[in-house]
């Protein structure tokens, strides 16, 4: 498959996903969705994670839940009492999907 065909397929998939999820709240578009670093195995290395600064993401035992950065566009819900949008969700989520890494990556501190 050529690069152009692959890009067109990805854009079509994004558009289908956006229309299917219409009416959903995307956590990534909320002011409370924060990007944080989480330690990796070696000193000076870290992973990127997202968390809800409003405390809406909890594990069963009450601990804060964090999600992998590259999966943040998949997190959507029907309702959130703390949701504060940062702008037009469809455009933002579409752009974010294009720029996110495709897998969990290790970063190094300068």
What does the domain layout of the chain look like in residue ranges? Answer: 3-100
Q: Are 32 and 92 in contact (CB under 8 A)?
A: no
Q: In terms of C-beta density within 10 A (0-12 exposed, 13-18 middle, 19 or more buried), how is residue 13 classed? A: exposed
pLDDT in tens, 11-63: 554 444 443 345 789 999 999 999 999 999 888 899 999 999 999 999 999 99
- Span 64-96, pLDDT tens digits: 999 999 999 999 999 999 999 998 988 999 999
- Give the Cα separation of 6 and 8 in Å (integer): 5
SS3 67: strand
Distance CA 42, CA 100 (A): 23
**Which sign does the torsion angle of CA 85, 23, 68, 102 carry?**
negative
pTM of the full predicted structure? 0.71
């Amino acid at each position: 498959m050529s690069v152009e065909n692959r890009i067109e397929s990805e854009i079509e998939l994004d558009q289908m996903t956006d229309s299917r999820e219409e009416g959903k709240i995307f956590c990534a578009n909320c002011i409370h969705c924060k990007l944080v670093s989480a330690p990796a195995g070696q000193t000076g290395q870290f992973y990127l994670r997202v968390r809800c600064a409003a405390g809406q993401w909890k594990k069963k035992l009450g601990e804060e839940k964090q999600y992998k950065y590259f999966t943040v566009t998949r997190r959507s819900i029907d309702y959130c009492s703390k949701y504060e949008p940062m702008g037009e969700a469809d455009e933002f989520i579409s752009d974010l999907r294009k720029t996110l890494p495709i897998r969990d990556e290790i970063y190094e501190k300068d």
